[in-house]
Amino acid sequence: MTINNKLSSIKQQQIKQAVTTSDAYTFFNLLTSPKMLSKVEELLPKTHRERQFPPTETLSMFLAQAMNEDRSCQKVVNEAAVKRLV
């Protein structure tokens, strides 16, 4: 195996690891980090009604849903509800 193949294999394993350990709160923390927050806020509507899941949390839940093997909406909503209680 060449060095490029080894590096590629390592990178693929790292990506798989990141995908399996990512949940909505991982994405939420990323979206609200100092590096990304100003850009995310720029893209949000200027006014939005108070909701149970604000736009940033909804986006993070969607990203987690899309990256998960079980892509059901119910799974990601249940996980968010459990994390709020804990």
Q: Is the dihedral of CA 51, 20, 27, 67 positive or negative?
A: negative
Quick check: 25 and 83 in contact, CB under 8 A? yes
Token duo for residue 4? 């490029």
How does residue 47 score in pLDDT terms, banded at 50, 70 and 90? confident
Mean pLDDT of the chain: 84
Residue 33 has pLDDT above 70, yes or no: yes
